[in-house]
Amino acid sequence: MKKTVKNTKKGAIESILDTLNSIKSAMVTKKEHHSSLESIKSAMVTKKEHEGVLETVASIKSAMVTKKEHEAVLETVEFIKDRMVTKSELAEVRTELKKDIEDTRLELRSKIDGVHRRIDEDLDKRKTLENRMSRIEARA
């Protein structure tokens, strides 16, 4: 029986030593602990930095457009887009207008020429009348 107790004590001691060794290997040194704390500290954000981020978020949020405003802008763009003309449509209208303007110019020129002819005819008639009057006055 002494042997079994000895074996049991030996086994218990070995078990305890194994546990102590596993605890020891899991433990961190003071240097590792401080290094870990420093890395955590350096990753932390100061209150001032945090407030700066919050201000930035607030300014971004205030600059953002609401869904209603976005829809209003889209509606306006669609309204403008529906009433816009393409370059080819504009060119067609421009060509038609140029043709109409040229036709109008020709009509005006012909009317002006007609007026000039009438003025010339009236002037010729007046000269003829003046010549007749001069002859009649010369005879009398």
Give residue 94's pLDDT band: very low, low, confident or very high (50, 70, 90).
Answer: very high
The answer, yes or no, to whether residue 128 has pLDDT greater than 80, is yes
Q: Determine the pLDDT at residue 52.
A: 85
Q: Determine the pLDDT at residue 45.
A: 74
Concatenated DSSP letters of 32-62: HHHHHHHHHHHHSPPHHHHHHHHHHHHHHHH
Q: Determine the pLDDT at residue 48.
A: 82
- Per-residue pLDDT of 72-83, as tens digits, reads 989 999 998 888
Alpha-carbon separation of residue 105 from 29, 113, 115, 118, 119 (angstroms): 102, 12, 15, 20, 21
pTM, to two decimals = 0.37
Residue 100 buriedness (CB in 10 A; 0-12 / 13-18 / 19+): exposed
How far from chain centre, in Å, is Cα 95?
34
Q: How many CA atoms lie within 13 A of 75 on its CB side?
A: 6
- Per-residue pLDDT of 19-44, as tens digits, reads 888 877 777 777 777 788 788 777 77
Domain residue limits, the chain: 1-44, 47-84, 87-140
Q: How far apart are CA 60 and CA 46, in angstroms?
A: 21
